[in-house]
């Protein structure tokens, strides 16, 4: 198998790291590769904040719900949607930027996520381990303060990086057929749902999960425990507030 196939097919999220630092030259090399990712209009409307200072990591940790990776990984990267720099360039060149709206935020968020995922592949290809942190969008208002993000900048995801100190089992994926539609979208029948989720539902770890949480189905673990409506509504409101504050909601 060639190296790219091997990297993509055998990857798994790594949440435990050795204390060995990530060499700055290697990190810069990975960041250079990441910044080759496609970007809207070649505007590169993103910024990446490197956190390696232990004190700064401790400051960030509560806003990632104290997930151990934040303080244990040698490097924490916060990928931000960023129109601040581009807007400034425009203004200094007698151009009037019209990027204080939701579409522009979404554009910049796409750019930031593409650069993040490209970084992750480059890192994994070098044998490093990564873990995304979804807490970034939940607690963006606090992360903005810790990282001193100015107007026009919103953190969209965080990646912890380090040398793996574990090799967990790969987790399941739905069969390819479940996520692919030929030419147009095909609605899922009940029978198709049963078939596509069968393997996931039969796994011992899934069944254990259902039992531990005293639920009847695996789906209920998602709806009632892991990603609850009340939390989603609460964090949505916070995030919409952040977009307003950071200047992306010029209605
Ligand atoms: C946007 C995003 C947010 C995530 N947030 C977290 C997180 O906060 N904590 C965590 O331990 N893993 C997090 N993950 C990792 C996922 O749990 C993991 O990718 C998924 O379970 C599949 O496992 P795999 O990457 O090993 O294939 C996140 C992944 C993504 C893409």
pLDDT in tens, the chain (251 residues): 799 999 999 999 999 999 999 999 999 999 999 999 999 999 999 999 999 999 999 999 999 999 999 999 999 999 999 999 999 999 999 999 999 999 999 999 999 999 999 999 999 999 999 999 999 999 999 999 999 999 999 999 999 999 999 999 999 999 999 999 999 999 999 999 999 999 999 999 999 999 999 999 999 999 999 999 999 999 999 999 999 999 999 86
Name every residue whose Cβ is closer than 8 Å to that of residue 74 and which is 6 or more positions away in sequence: 17, 19, 20, 21, 22, 52, 161, 162, 163
Verdict on whether the full-model pTM lies above 0.95: yes
Ligand 1 contacts CB of residue 158 (under 6 A): no
> Are the C-beta atoms of 136 and 78 separated by less than 8 Å?
yes
3-state DSSP assignment of residue 73: coil
Output the CA–CA distances (angstroms, integers) from residue 151 to 59, 106, 155, 246, in the order listed: 21, 15, 12, 5
108 Cα–ligand 1 center, Å: 21
For the record, the structure tokens of 234 come out as: 């609460």
Query: What's the pLDDT at 9?
Result: 98
Burial class (CB in 10 A: 0-12, 13-18, 19+), 20: exposed
* Order of strands across the sheet that contains 46-51: 46-51, 75-82, 153-162, 129-133
Query: What's the pLDDT at 46?
Result: 99
* Dihedral, CA of residue 181, residue 182, residue 187 and residue 190, to nearest 10: -70
Query: What's the pLDDT at 27?
Result: 99
The protein residue whose alpha carbon is closest to atom 30 in ligand 1 is: 132
Query: What's the pLDDT at 1?
Result: 77
Query: What's the pLDDT at 251?
Result: 67
88 Cα–ligand 1 center, Å: 34
Query: What's the pLDDT at 82?
Result: 99
Q: Measured between alpha carbons, how far is 74 from 66 in angstroms, rounded to an integer?
A: 16
> Are the C-beta atoms of 37 and 113 separated by less than 8 Å?
no
The protein residue whose alpha carbon is closest to atom 20 in ligand 1 is: 13
Ligand 1 contacts CB of residue 118 (under 6 A): no
Name every residue whose Cβ is closer than 8 Å to that of residue 243 and which is 6 or more positions away in sequence: 102, 105, 154, 249
C-alpha gyration radius of the chain: 20
Q: Measured between alpha carbons, how far is 81 from 63 in angstroms, rounded to an integer?
A: 18
């Amino acid at each position: 198998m060639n190296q790219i196939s091997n990297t993509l097919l055998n990857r798994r999220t790594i949440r435990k790291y050795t204390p060995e630092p990530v060499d700055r030259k290697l990190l810069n090399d990975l960041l250079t590769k990441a910044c080759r990712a496609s970007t809207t209009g070649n505007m590169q409307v993103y910024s990446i904040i490197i956190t390696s200072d232990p004190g700064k990591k401790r400051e960030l940790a509560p806003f990632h719900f104290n997930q151990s990776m934040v303080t244990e990984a040698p490097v924490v990267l916060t990928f931000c949607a960023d129109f601040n720099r581009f807007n400034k360039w425009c203004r200094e060149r007698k151009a009037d930027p019209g990027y204080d709206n939701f579409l522009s935020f979404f554009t910049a968020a796409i750019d930031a996520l593409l650069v993040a995922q490209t970084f992750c592949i480059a890192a994994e290809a070098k044998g490093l381990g990564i873990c995304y942190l979804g807490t970034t969008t939940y607690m963006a208002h606090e992360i903005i303060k810790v990282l001193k993000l100015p107007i026009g900048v919103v953190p969209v995801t965080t990646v912890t990086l380090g040398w793996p100190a574990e090799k967990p089992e790969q987790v399941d994926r739905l069969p390819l057929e479940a996520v692919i539609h030929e030419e147009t979208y095909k609605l899922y029948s009940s029978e198709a749902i049963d078939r596509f989720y069968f393997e996931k539902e039969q796994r011992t770890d899934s069944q254990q999960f259902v039992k531990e949480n005293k639920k009847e189905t695996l789906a209920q673990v998602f709806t009632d425990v892991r990603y609850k409506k009340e939390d989603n509504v609460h964090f949505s409101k916070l995030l919409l507030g952040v977009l307003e504050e950071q200047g992306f909601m010029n209605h």
